[in-house]
Structure 1
Amino acid sequence: MANRSDVKKRITALRGEIARHDQLYYVEAAPEISDKKYDGLFAELELLEQERPDLVTPDSPTQRVGVAPHTGLEKVSHIAPMLSLDAVRNEADVEGFLARIRTETGEDEAVIWAEPKFDGLSVEVVYENGHFDRASTRGDGRTGEGIGHTLRAARALPLRLRHPKKMPDILVVRGEALLLVKSFQKLNRARVERGEEPFANPRNAAAGLVRRLDPAGAEAIRFAVTFYDATGLSIQDAPTQETLLKQLEHQGLPVFGARARCVSMENIRAFHKRLMEARDQLPYEIDGMVLKLDDRAARENMGTRARSPRWALAWKFEPRHEITRIADIAVSVGRTGALTPVALLDPVDVGGVTVARATLHNPSEIRRKDLRVGDTVRIERAGDVIPEIVGRVDTPGQKRGDVFEMPKMCPACGAELEMRGRKAQCPAGIACPAQLVGRIVHYAARGAMDIDGLGEKTASQLVERGMVKTLADLYDLSAENFKTLEGFAAKSAKALFDAIQNRTKVPLDRFVWALGIRHVGSDSARQLARAFGSLKALRDASEDNISAVLNIGPKTAASIVGFFAERRNRDVVDRLLAAGISPQPIEKTGSTLADKTFVLTGALAGWTRAQATQEIERRGGRVTTTVSDETDYLVVGERPGSKLEQAKRHGVKTLDEADFRKLLGQGG
């Protein structure tokens, strides 16, 4: 046996790792490892604590169930603890469980009730006087999260029992909230088309949806709920697990899935085989079977451990490995508008990670590999990270799906797609919901609208919660709206609200760049602002007129005209203007620097880079980012970069800050 210090270090490490994976699994619905790998960590911790009971602490994962409730939801105390189940993966452990049951009950043929182990979210539902009162997640086993506001959306869940007079005043039923496989794939398809990450499996999808503070999104999803236990029913009224389930069914509570009475290991083994064979054809996910002592009175005599009953066991299936089925092919719209076909897979374990999607890169790749919906395929993780379909696995006699065709319209916004090389591109830009997070971040960036505090995390929350559907919606939000976001308090919410509302009068070039028009950078935006003077003039300009502007090529000109030709983009720009955005012409106070080109390097004490640029442009000069033979002056601040050496090679005149001030003064 290892010394106590080494064991303690390993126990501490395991507890930390398990706690992190619990957070990812239960709260964030974004697991990083497979169930099998998690079970291995837990089993190692249990074994070490059995060897060193003096190191067991009350906060160890082995002494509790799940994780603490999410702070955004109401805390609900369970009437009785919601326990977990010990899980095994081999027959020897099942035989050991059966032998222990026989020993402790004194019955050689103790009846074992076998049920599917549903791969869903554990829930508790409370009925008072026959009426639905509340629902909660398991949480830490004693306190869960209130989810009654979303679980009501489960149409199969009765809000009133059929025969309430035959039930106790308070009936507590426990089961699983499930997302049916078809609903799961439909949900993931919609997420991919919006440019979002799909859920790893139906369980995580259900966990994420029932936890929504706003139940609107959950109402559109058809949850399934099945029950397998109840508190409040006396042993006299329901002496066995079989009679308990019949009582629940009699009240209209959903109880589904194959079940069996077993009195031998042969019976158990046969039922396990039956479930394994049916697994891929079921409309819901199962990941094993549950064995329970049927006699409820005998259960009470056996009692429970800290986190699990002694009279029940989960016999889990081995996870699907590497070979799976393409359930659907969706098209993901990226933040830049590029479209990528994505295979939505039946969840499969690849190298210890659950994989539910794989990129198909482009239509040529799909044709080369001859992939279709319904095909059986082999998955690998390229570089041990990115899931990739290696190839199709021939399945004799299987009818294949139709050949995949890329859509003609953007699945996120309906705009007609453009082909750019092998990639399809959505031209809608700021009007496309799938591109919206990236567009907001660019719009708020320094050099664009310069909205402090509006980064990617905040933008993602605004879009995911439906608070912002176009850029213009930013100006309709209140400080109270921002206060509902994760990471915001009253002060930070007010600061972001003020930052947005105070950025209305902006230089025309910064607004043009903020729109994120393809091929238009900050330099070309300044050139356009100087050449056209107003947003209206730029919107109305032809490709030839735009191409005539210095350093603006035909590709950029076509992109600008195409952007404003798209009705959705025009609508968003009009709404921004109606919200108070007022692009200002670049102010000119003279022309003494006309036709002079400047490059800036290093930090200037008197100006920011943007202010120095503005001073040059007001006097008719232009600022570029690259030193060349066309450069007239290099303005050098503190800690200059490589541009100083480049200026020397090109014979460009350099100005320190005093020289620069003098030049501007002469221009004044």
Structure 2
Amino acid sequence: MTAAKNRILELRAELDQHNYRYHVLDEPSIPDIEYDRLFHELKALEAANPELVTSDSPTQRVGSAALSAFTQVRHEVPMLSLGNAFEETDMREFDRRVTEGLDLPVGDLFGGGAAVEYSCEPKLDGLAVSLLYQDGVLVRGATRGDGTTGEDISVNVRTVRNIPLKLHGTGWPATLEVRGEVFMSKAGFERLNATQLEVGGKTFANPRNAAAGSLRQLDSKITANRPLEFCCYGIGQVSADIAETHIGNLQQLKAWGLPISHELKLANGIAECLAYYRDIGERRNALPYEIDGVVFKVNSIAAQRELGFRAREPRWAIAHKFPAMEELTELLDVEFQVGRTGAVTPVARLKPVKVAGVTVANATLHNMDEVARLGLMIGDTVIIRRAGDVIPQVVQVVLERRPDNARPVKIPEQCPVCGSHVERTQLVKRSKGRETISEGAVYRCVGRLACGAQLKQAIIHFVSRRAMDIEGLGDKSVEQLVDEGLVSSPADLYALKFEDIVDLEGFAEVSSNKLLSAIEGSKKPGLARFIYALGIPDVGEETAKVLARSLGSLERVQRALPQVLTYLPDVGLEVAHEIHSFFEDAHNQQVIADLLKHGLQIQDQGDLGAEFAASTTLGGFLDKLHIPSVGPGGAQKLAEKFGSLQGVMSADWLDMRQALPEKQANSVREFFASEENRQLAEAAEKQLADFGMHWQSEKKVVEGLPLAGQTWVLTGSLELMSRDVAKDKLESLGAKVAGSVSAKTHCVVAGPGAGSKLTKANELGLKVLDEEAFVGFLKDHGVPV
């Protein structure tokens, strides 16, 4: 008895602390699944020792006390939590209890039982709130708190845009308490964290923490700027009944202007509940918000009243939880991997643990800044998160479990692969003639292609499907070729002979000939594909397409100066310098020369893009020189006054003062007093003339592409072509192909299996084409299918 009592007291103290961190501080230190384990252990001990149950036990209440900074609110009808089901057997047991409680036939293995009607909806991962309406007007908002007493957050809930301040329509009860969840969408969460990083603020571990932290700000102006949403899931105190069913209540609330779940459904019997759970589980990662399970409620209000409540939960509802996406485990070590660009990246080696149904032993740490942000040490207990196909990541350290022998994480001074020096990158920010240098987040091995890891990753990227698309060269094959000394640059692939590869592991006569044939077949890549394959830092597929479409030839891409490259859409000065530096490098020049010597013939080359050629003016050019204190307006005044670059550079003081105020005039004269600046400006102007895009060059008539300015979205699986092919065809017509649907989307192409994107498109009233209509659309615009 003493051991049981001591353990019960330990568990209560630990759960109370976790409740405080979760509900009051919004800083949970353990994942939900660990809390559930501790809670169920306490529940089992109290069930075995009922004489030890007290009214202040966590099993007898919900959450923790309200924050003292907010006025306390007492809930007239307690806001109870739900019991949990983790297995199908738990759900069947719940259904059996409901059926017996309603005195209905239970049935047996062969059926024959009564089918209870249940409402089904996703369990949103946010903060439970109560909204009180008097005569249709919102008069109070409160958190759940400990279930009996919450916090008055009225000022903050009024800032949540989809909470009506006055109910729509008529017929609502004089007193109506609406209950629901305030949450943050995945996209809103990403935007918030990006903004927080920009301003040096605190980032959030997950959307739930972000929503809770945002809603409980003492300054409501902060809440108003956060992307919060509300979803109603029930009612509390009410002066008159609304409907005879739970779904009927929600549908009436929706008519009065309150948002309810789009996934709300009625299930007839436990089998349909389980089918709903499986379906929503398969679509979980495609939903625009985080969920951690499904809530099932007996639909009949009369049946709910008959079933009643336990101490802390209703007998007529249950939450069927999904496998945990967060888990606790131990950080055994941190190792460092070297990537294609030489980035030395820390990787967490973990004590294996099952997360979301998959055993996880490794997790990404991104960079050393992330290690510092987490305050991570080897030996720590950490929270691991895995969502869908996303690489598992460490999201938090449980500081109270840090062992005495924990060790700091240190970046190696030498590359773990080749032994070359590892140095921290520098960020160079260029603006208005000035360069600001700061330390970057990335450490790099300086060994370049002399480093086996960088060489392997560079080759793997070069042969990948979206690059040169050489089938038969998987990661292991590339590693063999490098390890055997057969390949030391991408160009060496085209010098491989049958006898070089036939004896390698995994190769034989047929596979060797197939590989050589695939290498030969890759010798006519499109320009965009070839640029992407080169692996230029910060140049992905889209930027490679812009370079190819605008500059029209490899020769122009290689020669282009940063000041010229910045005329390309979405290419800023930093990326322009990366591109220029890549092609200035002697080693890269040699690799390209060797590739061409081995017979590569770059396709799709031609004239400069007409729109690109027509994009230059003297005023715009002067602005792109980033002369301190001179913006677009001042640059245009210089162009109008002097008419040429030489005229600006040679202008005397009096003429300059006629064009600009004294400070700007001085700045221009000081800028061009530098011989380096003069040479850069003259070289850039000469290149504009050479390319045929000088403001005095003869311009071609620019014919706009039919879909220019339009954004399209592809969803579902297309049967007549791959989505990559469909994307290429849309881009050839000038469209931008995005990955998400918004009000700015022009059209959605929906193939079989289309999910949440199609749902959102229909909600927004967007144009939707099935594959057959899409193919017809392409043919009408002269695109071969």
TM-score (norm 1): 0.51
Separation in 2 of the partners of 1:119 and 1:386? 34
Residue 391 of structure 2 corresponds to residue 377 of structure 1? yes
Work out which of the residue numbers 26, 41, 44 in structure 2 matches 1:47. Answer: 44
| Alignment check: 8 A CA contact 2:174 2:239 kept | no
Residue 289 of structure 2 corresponds to residue 284 of structure 1? yes
Residue 168 of structure 2 corresponds to residue 152 of structure 1? no
Seen in structure 2, the aligned counterparts of structure 1 residues 235 and 72 have a Cα distance that, compared at 3 Å, is: closer
Structure 2 unaligned spans of 5+: 105-113, 328-343, 348-353, 371-387, 410-424, 445-785
Separation in 2 of the partners of 1:115 and 1:319? 18
Give the secondary structure class of the aligned counterpart of 1:239.
coil
Q: How does 1:51-90 map to 2 (within 5 A)?
A: 51-90=48-87
Q: Which amino acid aligns with 2:161?
A: R
Seen in structure 2, the aligned counterparts of structure 1 residues 378 and 49 have a Cα distance that, compared at 3 Å, is: closer
| Alignment check: 8 A CA contact 2:232 2:258 kept | yes
Separation in 2 of the partners of 1:169 and 1:341? 61
| Alignment check: 8 A CA contact 2:182 2:229 kept | yes
Seen in structure 2, the aligned counterparts of structure 1 residues 272 and 408 have a Cα distance that, compared at 3 Å, is: farther
| Alignment check: 8 A CA contact 2:175 2:238 kept | no
Seen in structure 2, the aligned counterparts of structure 1 residues 423 and 273 have a Cα distance that, compared at 3 Å, is: same
Work out which of the residue numbers 8, 14, 20 in structure 1 matches 2:5. Answer: 8
Q: Which amino acid aligns with 2:276?
A: F
Residue 247 of structure 2 corresponds to residue 227 of structure 1? no
1:79 deviates by 2.1
Separation in 1 of the partners of 2:149 and 2:15? 19
| Alignment check: 8 A CA contact 2:80 2:314 kept | yes
| Alignment check: 8 A CA contact 1:64 1:141 kept | yes
Residue 168 of structure 2 corresponds to residue 162 of structure 1? yes
Seen in structure 2, the aligned counterparts of structure 1 residues 196 and 104 have a Cα distance that, compared at 3 Å, is: same
Q: Which of structures 1 and 2 has the larger relative contact order (alpha carbons within 8 angstroms, sep 6+)?
A: 1
Residue 241 of structure 2 corresponds to residue 240 of structure 1? no
Q: Which amino acid aligns with 1:135?
A: G
Separation in 1 of the partners of 2:155 and 2:164? 14
1:358 deviates by 3.4
| Alignment check: 8 A CA contact 1:65 1:84 kept | yes
Other-structure match for 1:178: 183
| Alignment check: 8 A CA contact 2:364 2:392 kept | no
Give the secondary structure class of the aligned counterpart of 1:14.
helix
1:183 deviates by 1.1
Residue 241 of structure 2 corresponds to residue 250 of structure 1? no
Separation in 1 of the partners of 2:4 and 2:45? 7
Give the secondary structure class of the aligned counterpart of 2:173.
coil
Alpha-carbon displacement from aligned partner over 1:498-524 (angstroms, at most 9, x marks no partner): xxxxxxxxxxxxxxxxxxxxxxxxxxx
Seen in structure 2, the aligned counterparts of structure 1 residues 244 and 421 have a Cα distance that, compared at 3 Å, is: closer
| Alignment check: 8 A CA contact 1:8 1:55 kept | yes
Other-structure match for 2:121: 115
Separation in 2 of the partners of 1:422 and 1:65? 45
Residue 16 of structure 2 corresponds to residue 19 of structure 1? yes
Other-structure match for 1:297: 302
Seen in structure 2, the aligned counterparts of structure 1 residues 48 and 176 have a Cα distance that, compared at 3 Å, is: same
RMSD of aligned Cα (Å): 3.7
TM-score (norm 2): 0.44
Separation in 1 of the partners of 2:172 and 2:346? 50
Separation in 2 of the partners of 1:101 and 1:79? 26
| Alignment check: 8 A CA contact 1:172 1:232 kept | yes
Give the secondary structure class of the aligned counterpart of 1:417.
strand
Deviates more, 1:195-204 or 1:57-66: 195-204
Alpha-carbon displacement from aligned partner over 1:300-358 (angstroms, at most 9, x marks no partner): 11111111101100000002369xxxxxxxxxxxxxxxxx9999xxxx959999x9983
Alpha-carbon displacement from aligned partner over 1:548-585 (angstroms, at most 9, x marks no partner): xxxxxxxxxxxxxxxxxxxxxxxxxxxxxxxxxxxxxx
Seen in structure 2, the aligned counterparts of structure 1 residues 359 and 246 have a Cα distance that, compared at 3 Å, is: same
Alpha-carbon displacement from aligned partner over 1:411-468 (angstroms, at most 9, x marks no partner): 9xx99333589669xxxxxxxxxxxxxxxxxxxxxxxxxxxxxxxxxxxxxxxxxxxx
1:192 deviates by 3.3
1:87 deviates by 1.0
Residue 354 of structure 2 corresponds to residue 314 of structure 1? no
1:259 deviates by 2.1
1:140 deviates by 0.9
Residue 368 of structure 2 corresponds to residue 361 of structure 1? yes
| Alignment check: 8 A CA contact 2:246 2:300 kept | yes
Deviates more, 1:247-256 or 1:192-201: 192-201
How many residues align? The count is 371
Seen in structure 2, the aligned counterparts of structure 1 residues 28 and 172 have a Cα distance that, compared at 3 Å, is: same
1:209 deviates by 1.1
Q: Which amino acid aligns with 2:222?
A: G
Seen in structure 2, the aligned counterparts of structure 1 residues 406 and 317 have a Cα distance that, compared at 3 Å, is: farther
Give the secondary structure class of the aligned counterpart of 2:56.
coil
1:32 deviates by 1.4
1:190 deviates by 2.7
| Alignment check: 8 A CA contact 1:34 1:349 kept | no
Structure 1 unaligned spans of 5+: 323-339, 364-373, 389-404, 425-668
Separation in 1 of the partners of 2:200 and 2:184? 21
| Alignment check: 8 A CA contact 1:245 1:255 kept | yes
Seen in structure 2, the aligned counterparts of structure 1 residues 251 and 387 have a Cα distance that, compared at 3 Å, is: farther
1:23 deviates by 1.2
Q: How does 1:153-552 map to 2 (within 5 A)?
A: 153-163=159-169, 165-232=170-237, 237-320=242-325, 358-361=365-368, 376-379=390-393, 408-409=428-429, 416-419=436-439
Seen in structure 2, the aligned counterparts of structure 1 residues 263 and 410 have a Cα distance that, compared at 3 Å, is: farther
| Alignment check: 8 A CA contact 2:427 2:440 kept | no
1:359 deviates by 3.5
Separation in 2 of the partners of 1:357 and 1:234? 53
| Alignment check: 8 A CA contact 2:363 2:393 kept | no
Seen in structure 2, the aligned counterparts of structure 1 residues 380 and 138 have a Cα distance that, compared at 3 Å, is: closer
1:111 deviates by 0.5
